[in-house]
Amino acid sequence: MSSTIDFSRPMSEILRECTKEAHNKVEASAGAAALLAGEVSKGDYVRFLMMLWHVYAALELGLEQHATNPVLEPTYNPPLLQRASSLSADIAYLLGVSESSWKSHSIHKSLLANAPVALTDYVNRIHELTDSQDPERLLAHGYVRYLGDLSGGQTIRHTIAKAYGLDESSGQGMSFYAFKELRSSKPAKQGEMRRIKEWYREGMNVGTGSNSELKASIAAEANLVFELNGGLFNAVRIGGVDELDDLSLETEDEQPILITPSRPVQSGYPVASVAAVIVAVSLAHFALTVGGFTGSRGYAKLELVEQWLDSTWQSITAH
């Protein structure tokens, strides 16, 4: 940071000037370039969002804890700026799980088990400032994160939608990049986002006032934040195996296909049908015995009995 900076100037002007080089360096990082080009696998993009969630969760907890601090209060507006909840919703949507369960996902478990140094350094720095006697430097973290989301984040949004097949009109999976209007709950468009940035800059100017020493410390912290943010981009994995494609999903055992016959198949013949045959045979036997088989009439009787028995049997076996 240049020693020629006039710290009597408004905080927003100081930050714009003294962080320009650090900002350009982050934009030129391989991770940032890959995200802007849509060259990061879906699984690694989710992993990146998880890292951001840890950063924002720590930052927004710290800002909440010091909401009445006179330096931080003018820019404290959780309904307008908070990103942790949006990140959680996006992560859950991209993984196809509930918001209450994504922290148990294998990608998150792997991230925690092998946390990049850049992530732990970033989160630890926020905790350090939150627990300190002078948390005013959290303003630098809010400046880098929120104004970055309101600016470059909108460019990434279009790339992300195209890269992962997301519907921009619904906004699902991309709520991290969506903001509400400053004075209403309507979705903010580009013009409104510029007004939000101006509101934030003015809040920084009011909060820091004419305290040059405070402005210098916040400016130095802002450069550190860009360095930490650059570390996150460097931790983005490029060109690796997509962890989402490599996961095995549990499925229920397939049930065998059952072919149902048009009518029940019986293993035997009904008792009533068998009884009918017995009765019929007995009657035939009685008639033949009485009338006899002799002569032409006897032969005719025999043919009639055979036809009758055959007809009876066919009617039974047809059931």
Map out the domains of the chain as residue ranges.
Answer: 11-234, 271-317
Which fold is adopted by the domain 11-234?
Answer: Heme Oxygenase; Chain A (1.20.910)
Task: Give the pLDDT confidence score for residue 238 in this predicted structure.
Answer: 85
pLDDT recorded at residue 241: 63
Q: Output the pLDDT for position 276.
A: 44
pLDDT at residue 297, as a whole number: 44
Would you give per-residue pLDDT tens digits along the chain (319 residues)? 556 899 999 999 999 999 999 999 998 999 999 998 999 999 999 999 999 999 999 999 999 999 999 999 999 999 999 999 999 999 999 999 999 999 999 999 999 999 999 999 999 999 999 999 999 999 999 999 999 999 877 778 889 999 999 998 899 999 999 999 999 999 999 899 999 999 999 999 999 999 999 999 999 999 999 999 999 999 998 876 676 765 533 333 332 323 233 333 333 444 444 444 444 444 444 343 334 444 444 444 444 444 444 444 444 444 4
- What does the H/E/C string look like for the chain? CCCCCCCCCCHHHHHHHHCHHHHHHHHCCHHHHHHHHCCCCHHHHHHHHHHHHHHHHHHHHHHHHCCCCCCCHHHCCHHHHCCHHHHHHHHHHHHCCCCCCHHHCHHHHHHHHCCCHHHHHHHHHHHHHHCCCCHHHHHHHHHHHHHHHHCHHHHHHHHHHHHCCCCCCCCCCCHHHCCECCCCCCECCHHHHHHHHHHHHHHHHHHHCCCHHHHHHHHHHHHHHHHHHHHHHHCCCCCCCCCCCCCCCCCCCCCCCCCCCCCCCCCCCCHHHHHHHHHHHHHHHHHHHHHCCCHHHHHHHHHHHHHHHHHHHHHHHCC
